[in-house]
């Protein structure tokens, strides 16, 4: 997969990152991927390895800080990017009512960046979007087609009964 951005001044489109799954990684086996961020503004290309050691939460390091994507269903089914050291939410991808089964131009969801360490840097925003795409595709490939019913003002469709308990446990575990 490739992440492209459009320059608002010139309208020119350029590739800013590519994302690849790693099928034959080292033992112990677990889902792994890599994000190759394309250099710009005198910054070299950077490779960010990702992995899901518990087969659910995708971790990635930015400037030496650990972040992880976790599935949550509070208040709606979403992927949440959490900074491990502070347990603060940096970004959230909230699935639409169509979710990963969206067709005919319907959106899969909405991505919102909140803040935190380095979160306002262009490179970090692009890495967050690219790493989110890895997590979305991982769950879709696993047969988990998440979505929200009734729009974002309605009741969430809960696809895993233990999701909220697991998310809260992760927040407690990573905040220590």
Q: What is the pLDDT of residues 131-148, one digit of tens each?
A: 999 999 999 988 999 999
| pLDDT at res. 108 | 93
| Among 39, 77, 79, 44, residue whose Cα is nearest residue 60 | 79
Would you call 127 helix, strand, or coil by DSSP? helix
Q: What is the pTM of this model?
A: 0.77
Asked if 40 and 12 touch (Cβ cutoff 8 Å), the reply is no
Mean pLDDT of the chain: 80
- 81: β partners: 69, 91
Q: 89 phi and psi, to 5 degrees?
A: -85, 120
pLDDT score recorded for residue 132: 93
Q: How many CA atoms lie within 13 A of 4 on its CB side?
A: 5
Q: 101 φ, ψ to 5°?
A: -100, 15
Alpha helices in 16-115 (DSSP H): none
pLDDT tens digits, 13-44: 888 889 998 888 888 888 999 998 886 555 67
Cα gap 174→66, rounded to integer Å: 10
């Amino acid at each position: 997969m490739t992440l492209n951005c459009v320059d608002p001044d010139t309208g020119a489109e350029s590739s800013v990152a590519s994302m690849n799954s790693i099928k034959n990684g080292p033992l112990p086996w677990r889902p792994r991927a890599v994000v190759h961020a394309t250099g710009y503004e005198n910054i070299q290309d950077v490779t960010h390895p990702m992995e899901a050691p518990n087969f659910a939460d995708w971790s990635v390091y930015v400037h030496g800080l650990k972040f992880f994507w976790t599935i949550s269903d509070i208040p709606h089914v979403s992927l949440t990017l959490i900074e491990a050291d502070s347990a603060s939410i940096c970004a959230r991808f909230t699935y639409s009512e169509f979710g990963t089964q969206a067709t005919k131009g319907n959106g899969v969801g909405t991505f919102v960046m909140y803040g935190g360490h380095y979160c306002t840097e262009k490179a970090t925003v692009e890495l967050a979007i690219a790493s989110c795409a890895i997590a979305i595709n991982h769950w879709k490939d696993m047969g988990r087609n998440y979505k929200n019913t009734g729009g974002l003002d309605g009741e969430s469709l809960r696809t895993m009964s233990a999701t909220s308990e697991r998310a809260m446990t992760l927040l407690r575990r990573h905040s220590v």
